[in-house]
Structure 1
Amino acid sequence: MFANCSAGGMAQASSDVCRTPPVGIPSNYTNTANKPEAVPNVPTIIYAGGPVHNLNTIIPVTHGDEGGSMGGVASGTVAAQSRHVTGSGKVLIQGAPQTRLTDTNVPNKQNTAGQSVSPSQTITMTLS
């Protein structure tokens, strides 16, 4: 599968439930994390023009759930960080598993689970 990096791509979760004003009604929002906004922790390994991502890489801000400004039902946050929770079992980048297109991520500070919907790049693949 294609390796994640900061050259492009996005991850998305379609079931981010946040409390919506004025009375805090739980509503479903689509939450998006843009990979170019990631804070890379491995700046020396570049794939297709962007630093590679591993399990220690975070995306500090997500988008799409701002309407639920009273916070996520599970996390109590809105537009919070996203990070991957699964990665390669065999490829380590600076001691942490490399993340790939199909690996699970948790946007909005673990309020929901999602997955990458568009690749960061289409050149480098991690097959394990």
Structure 2
Amino acid sequence: MEFKDIITSNLENSGFLDRIRAELRGEIFESVKRDGYSLEERKELIEKDIPIAQLLKDFLEKSSAEHTLKTFTGETTVALDKIPIEDTLKKLEIKQESSSPAIYELIRKFNEKFKNPN
């Protein structure tokens, strides 16, 4: 095995290359956004997708997935910071604990309802 292959393998196994790729994607999308160009494939999230995007953003923030969050927000055309997540949580009847992602409560409620359908 060549030195280059060993280094590449070690960086892949440690997750370093994945983090760099995610950060690079995020920077590319931010750059495109900043420069005022629009991507043909990017479309506004429709209203029913906003809660999903908010729950994902909340999960990524609370999981410290900074590079993934940067990529996600770069690819999302909705300004999620301008839409309070509290409104979505109220509609979904979710009481969020500040330390854990709201999606955990949604899954817990789903499992509870699935076990007790009445």
Task: Specify the TM-score bucket, using the shorter chain as the normaliser.
Answer: under 0.3
Higher RCO, Cα 8 Å, sep 6+: 1
Q: Could you state the TM-score of these two structures normalised by the residue count of structure 1?
A: 0.19
More strand by share: 1
Q: Could you state the TM-score of these two structures normalised by the residue count of structure 2?
A: 0.20
More helix by share: 2
